């Protein structure tokens, strides 16, 4: 059963109206579960996330396709001129916190899951997860539960705003802290004493990193380009009149498959005097071969879609080794901004794309199974 356009828009607006800042997703989880159950979809809870099933049963050996998107949003930022939870419609735009990232994907995936209720070639699992914006705890729970049940997805579709272009690769995230050390001294006497100022040492290291990256350095991934490094948080000093003995910079490093995190860290270490401390190395880059059936089906579902490599993170990072794509309605550039919006046309196109993608995969799996039987 396919949701009428008016019902899909109403669903999306209700999803936007239900606040779900990371850590407070429960009301939206309950609403989503109730909506799916009313439309005949089997729903269960996995940790703090929602898990829904439709189509052929995975236990019968049908390939399992996992649809994954997140219910949580970032907090409201300054600058909104509208009520961020009103889901106001103005012209073709639906405004609201999360309307674009990623509640348009959520509503469109719910609609596609309902439409696939009679599918027999593939099993579809819809994971609407918690806490993606902070630490991706929900998807980690889903991955662990699938492993516990002995279920391995044949393919994964991550719902994020991509303009319905298809991300077949995604950069990883390495978080480093650059620590420069000096010698504390009274600011009035530091120069005469020859005390090393950690702030100056940190500044020299940051300039050295900038010079390194400005040149042609590091291997190039065909889809993702080179690794990038950006200082994002600087700290140091204890008082206005004391030369700091220590200064720190957090480095946000977006990594690519062709360069290991160890290799990138070694390149940086060659040009800095300070210590490089690893704060996080859990989110590695991922890539899906473009000749796989998942990508082919996505292109059949939307021939005009571009294949590209994404610089932004998503829960695609948890599916290394599994065919996975990131695709959804809306535009990434609107995310986490005041007066966030998605258009009605984008929302409807997103649901239509997901529905066609499931249909393409369902047919392909059915044909493959029939050929297997005949052989």
Gap between the Cα atoms of 237 and 353, Å rounded: 53
Active site residue 331: no
Q: Which of 132, 160, 340, 360 is flagged as catalytic?
A: 132
**Residues with Cβ within 8 Å of residue 49, at least 6 apart in sequence:** 29, 127, 128, 129, 130, 138, 139, 141, 142
DSSP-derived 3-state class of residue 83:
coil
Shared domain for 212 and 63, answered yes or no, is no
Together in a domain, 204 and 279: yes
Q: Which domain holds residue 54?
A: 5-170+285-374
Neighbours of 13 (CB within 10 A): 20
Distance, in Å, from the CA atom of 229 to the CA atom of 211, rounded to the nearest integer, reads 11
127 has which bridge partners?
A: 51, 68
Residue 264, domain CATH: 3.30.70.360
Q: What backbone phi and psi angles, to 5 degrees, belong to 311?
A: -85, -15
In the chain (375 residues long), the average pLDDT of successive 10-residue segments reads 93 98 97 96 93 75 91 97 97 97 98 86 93 94 93 95 98 97 92 94 97 84 95 96 96 96 96 97 95 96 97 94 97 96 98 96 71 45
Query: Within this chain, do residues 187 and 211 fall inside the same structural domain, yes or no?
Result: yes
Q: Are 75 and 156 within one domain?
A: yes
Which residue among 235, 268, 283 closes a domain? 283
- Do 256 and 200 lie in one domain? The reply is yes
CA dihedral 181→185→190→193, nearest 10 degrees, is -90
Within this chain, do residues 158 and 267 fall inside the same structural domain, yes or no? Answer: no
Question: Are residue 141 and residue 229 in the same domain, yes or no?
Answer: no
Q: Considering its fold, how many domains does the chain have in total?
A: 2
User: Quick one: pLDDT at residue 158?
Assistant: 98
* 34 and 93 belong to one structural domain: yes
263 and 176 belong to one structural domain: yes
Q: Which pLDDT belongs to residue 215? A: 73
CATH number of 57's domain: 3.40.630.10
Distance between terminal CA atoms of the chain? 34
Are the C-beta atoms of residues 199 and 246 closer than 8 Å to each other? Answer: no
Say if residue 192 is in the same domain as residue 222: yes
* Distance (Å, whole) CA 15 – CA 326: 21
Last residue of a domain, one of 236, 260, 283: 283
Residues 71 and 218 in one domain: no
- What is the pLDDT, as a whole number, of residue 374? 46
Give yes or no: residues 368 and 265 share one domain: no
CA distances from 297 to 60, 73, 310, 331 (A): 23, 30, 20, 22
Please identify, among 283, 306, 325, the residue that sits at the C-terminal boundary of a domain: 283
């Amino acid at each position: 059963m396919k949701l009428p356009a008016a019902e899909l828009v109403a669903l999306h607006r209700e999803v936007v109206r239900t606040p779900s800042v990371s850590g407070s997703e429960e009301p939206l989880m309950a609403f989503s579960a109730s909506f799916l159950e009313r439309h005949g979809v089997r729903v269960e809870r996995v940790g703090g996330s929602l898990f829904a099933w439709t189509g052929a049963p995975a236990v019968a050996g049908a390939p399992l396709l996992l649809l994954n998107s997140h219910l949580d949003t970032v907090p409201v930022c300054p600058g909104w001129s509208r009520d961020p939870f009103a889901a106001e419609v103005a012209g073709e735009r639906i405004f609201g916190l999360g309307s674009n990232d990623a509640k348009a994907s959520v509503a469109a995936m719910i609609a596609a899951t309902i439409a696939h209720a009679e599918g027999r070639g593939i099993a579809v699992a819809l994971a609407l997860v918690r806490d993606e914006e902070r630490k991706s705890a929900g998807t980690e729970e889903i991955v662990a539960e699938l492993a516990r049940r002995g279920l391995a997805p044949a393919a994964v579709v991550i719902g994020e705003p991509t303009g319905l272009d298809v991300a077949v690769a995604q950069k990883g995230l390495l978080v480093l802290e650059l620590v420069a050390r000096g010698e504390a001294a009274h600011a009035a006497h530091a120069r005469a004493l020859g005390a090393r100022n950690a702030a100056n040492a940190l500044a020299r290291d940051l300039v050295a990193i900038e010079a390194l990256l400005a040149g042609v350095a590091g291997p190039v991934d065909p889809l993702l380009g080179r690794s990038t490094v950006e200082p994002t948080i600087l700290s140091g000093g204890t008082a206005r009149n004391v030369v700091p003995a220590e200064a720190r910079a957090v480095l946000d490093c977006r990594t690519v498959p062709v360069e290991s995190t160890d290799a990138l860290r070694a390149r940086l270490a060659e040009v800095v005097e300070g210590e490089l401390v690893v704060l996080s190395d859990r989110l590695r880059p991922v890539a899906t071969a473009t000749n796989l059936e998942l990508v082919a089906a996505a292109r059949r579902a939307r021939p005009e879609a571009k294949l590209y490599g994404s610089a932004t993170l998503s829960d695609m990072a948890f599916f290394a080794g599994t065919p996975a794509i990131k695709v959804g309605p809306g535009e990434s550039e609107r995310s986490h901004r005041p007066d966030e919006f998605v258009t009605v046309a984008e929302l409807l196109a997103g649901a239509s794309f997901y529905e066609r993608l499931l249909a393409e995969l369902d047919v392909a799996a059915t044909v493959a199974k029939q050929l297997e039987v005949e052989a």
